């Protein structure tokens, strides 16, 4: 992608994989239940097309790298053997889980693997230098491959050994999953079909300030819901009761309102609200146009949902990041549901990023109706901020 992110990446077609050792960064940071069993294998399934394509192109061995969780050193509960077992079933091919990620035993396992083998290194975050971009660790990874493929969008905003640093040491390209993410956000941020409608939600406006600023340079309409909307409404002089508000961000929010006006961007905020007497699933609730003192808004109201849906329906390009309310609680999920349904039924090109937005789509069983559902929360947010991602910018097939 060029322009908004300042990044570009060659894909699998730019390299010859025949007879080569392919080192591949994937994102197998999957949710697990209390017993350690994988509760959602979506991320494992998402890596299958790239693994299969590289094997079909004659790779001698595919060496997969991933993290799982946030270990501080070796954590027996976060070993990747169960993931290798699940991947084997999905791939229809044995995947060998190694007990380490660097060193002589790993190098020997890669060298001795039969042609067409798939190996999974142990959790890369067991290594102290992984998140510190340690050059020695990056070099140790590079010994295991002739070429490098990054197919882990969810970690591509991190300058880590297995993501960006090893990419600088080997001929490196984007896998199909990463390429799809780059292309999707490119369609939103670089010469999008107009009108472009951006929908932002979530609790804190401070989490989205850079996104707001970047999108105001690009979108025709910005729809703001969630807790972050109430800092905007207070900045406009409206009473917000006990609703979430970041008073310390008031000047920045006022600047955003002024920028929207100067650039002729329609910035729409909730016109009615689902309010509660306290933050609880069983709180007393009501729908109001004006928020009473002592009450807090926890979702957009039905008029707002209808207004937002009407703008979404007219858009040629739509990007959504963040829920409209506390959607985890049934009393405050209707706004997010309405926006999700509107995005899913829109005729324009639709991109949804951010864990909560994606989770809402999954709950509604509407993910398949959205053109692109992003696999990376933090990474998608940084792209929307206009940042270049280290895991993408480091890629080059010409080493």
| pLDDT tens profile 8-49 | 689 999 999 999 999 999 999 999 888 889 998 989 999 999
CB contact set of 181 (below 8 Å; sequence gap of 6+): 153, 372, 374, 375, 376, 379, 380
What Rg, from alpha-carbon coordinates, does the chain have? 23
Q: Between 188 and 1, whose confidence is greater?
A: 188
DSSP state of 165: I
C-alpha neighbours within 13 Å on the C-beta side of residue 41: 16
Q: What is the pLDDT of residue 355?
A: 74
Within this chain, domains 12-179+388-393 and 194-347 share the same CATH topology: yes
DSSP state of 205: G
Of 2, 3, 9, the residue nearest 393 (C-alpha) = 9
**Strand 273-276, strand 285-288: pairing:** antiparallel
352 touches 359 (CB < 8 A): no
* pTM, entire model: 0.92
pLDDT at 275 over 50: yes
- Tokens representing 278? 């306290």
- Tokens representing 292? 């009473």
* 8 in catalytic set: no
Q: What is the pLDDT of residue 272?
A: 98
- Tokens representing 127? 């290594």
DSSP state of 238: -
Q: What is the pLDDT of residues 89-115, one digit of tens each?
A: 999 999 999 999 999 999 999 999 999
156 touches 163 (CB < 8 A): yes
How far is it between the farthest Cα atoms of the chain?
71
* 234 in catalytic set: no
pLDDT at 77 over 50: yes
Average pLDDT of the chain, as a whole number: 95
Q: What is the pLDDT of residue 399?
A: 77
383 touches 153 (CB < 8 A): no
Residue with tokens 């080997």: 170
- Tokens representing 306? 């209808």
Domain residue spans of the chain: 12-179+388-393, 194-347
Q: What is the pLDDT of residues 240-271, one digit of tens each?
A: 999 999 999 999 999 999 999 999 999 999 99
Considering the candidates 8, 129, 355, 377, report the single residue annotated as catalytic: 355
User: How far is it, in rounded angstroms, from Cα 146 to Cα 325?
Assistant: 48
- Give the CA dihedral 172, 177, 178, 183, nearest 10 degrees: 120
335 touches 305 (CB < 8 A): yes
C-alpha neighbours within 13 Å on the C-beta side of residue 351: 27
**CATH C-level class of 194-347:** alpha beta
Residue with tokens 């984007």: 174
User: How far is it, in rounded angstroms, from Cα 84 to Cα 28?
Assistant: 10
User: How far is it, in rounded angstroms, from Cα 71 to Cα 78?
Assistant: 7
Considering the candidates 86, 204, 234, 259, report the single residue annotated as catalytic: 204
Confidence of residue 3 (pLDDT cuts 50, 70, 90): very low
DSSP-assigned beta bridge partners for residue 352: 320, 373
User: How far is it, in rounded angstroms, from Cα 185 to Cα 143?
Assistant: 33
159 touches 165 (CB < 8 A): yes
Residue with tokens 């961007």: 265
**Strand 349-352, strand 372-373: pairing:** parallel
pLDDT at 297 over 80: yes
Q: What is the pLDDT of residue 354?
A: 80
**CATH C-level class of 12-179+388-393:** alpha beta
Across 349-374, average pLDDT: 91
Considering the candidates 43, 125, 168, 249, report the single residue annotated as catalytic: 43
* 369 in catalytic set: no
Q: What is the pLDDT of residue 8?
A: 61
- Give me the helices (H) in the chain, please: 42-56, 81-91, 104-112, 135-142, 176-189, 209-216, 229-235, 250-262, 302-314, 334-345, 355-364, 377-384, 390-393
* 399 in catalytic set: no
Q: What is the pLDDT of residues 156-203, one digit of tens each?
A: 999 999 999 999 999 999 999 999 999 999 999 998 999 999 999 999
29-38, 285-294, 311-320: the lowest-pLDDT one: 29-38
Tell me the percentage of the chain whose pLDDT exceeds 70: 98
Across 309-327, average pLDDT: 97
């Amino acid at each position: 992608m060029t322009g908004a992110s300042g990044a570009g990446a060659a894909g699998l077609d730019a390299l010859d994989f025949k007879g080569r050792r392919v080192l591949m960064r994937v994102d197998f940071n999957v949710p697990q239940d209390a017993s350690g069993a994988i509760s959602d294998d979506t991320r494992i399934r998402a890596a299958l097309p790239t693994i299969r394509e590289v094997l079909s192109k004659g790779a001698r061995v595919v060496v997969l790298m991933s993290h799982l969780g946030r270990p501080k050193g070796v954590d027996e509960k976060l070993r990747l053997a169960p993931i290798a077992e699940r991947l084997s079933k999905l791939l229809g091919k044995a995947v060998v889980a190694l007990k380490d990620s660097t060193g002589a035993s790993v190098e020997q396992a890669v060298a001795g693997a039969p042609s067409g083998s798939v190996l999974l290194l142990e959790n890369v975050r067991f290594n102290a230098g992984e998140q510190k971009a340690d050059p020695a660790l990056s070099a140790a990874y590079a010994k295991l491959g002739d070429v490098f493929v990054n197919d882990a969008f969810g970690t591509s905003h991190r300058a880590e050994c297995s993501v960006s640093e090893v990419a600088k040491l080997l001929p490196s390209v984007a896998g199909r999953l990463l390429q799809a993410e780059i292309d999707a956000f490119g369609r939103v941020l670089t010469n999008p079909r107009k009108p472009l409608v951006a929908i932002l939600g979530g609790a804190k406006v401070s989490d989205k300030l850079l996104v707001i600023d970047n999108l105001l340079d690009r979108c025709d309409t910005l729809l703001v819901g969630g807790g972050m909307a109430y800092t905007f409404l207070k900045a406009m002089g409206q009473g917000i009761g006990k609703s979430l508000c970041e008073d310390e961000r008031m000047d920045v929010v006022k600047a955003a309102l002024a920028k929207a006006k100067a650039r002729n961007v329609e910035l729409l905020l909730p016109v009615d609200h689902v309010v509660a007497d306290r933050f609880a699933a069983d709180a007393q609730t009501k729908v109001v146009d004006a928020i009473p003192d002592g009450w807090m808004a926890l979702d957009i109201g039905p008029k707002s949902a209808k207004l937002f849906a009407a703008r979404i329906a007219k858009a040629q390009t739509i990007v959504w990041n963040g829920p409209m309310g506390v959607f985890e609680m049934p009393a405050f999920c209707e706004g997010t549901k309405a926006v999700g349904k509107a995005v899913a039924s829109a005729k324009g090109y639709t991109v949804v990023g951010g864990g909560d937005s994606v989770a809402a789509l999954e709950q509604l069983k509407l993910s398949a109706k959205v053109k692109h559902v992003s696999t990376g929360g933090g990474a998608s947010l940084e792209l929307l901020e206009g940042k270049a991602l280290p895991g993408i910018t480091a890629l080059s097939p010409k080493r």
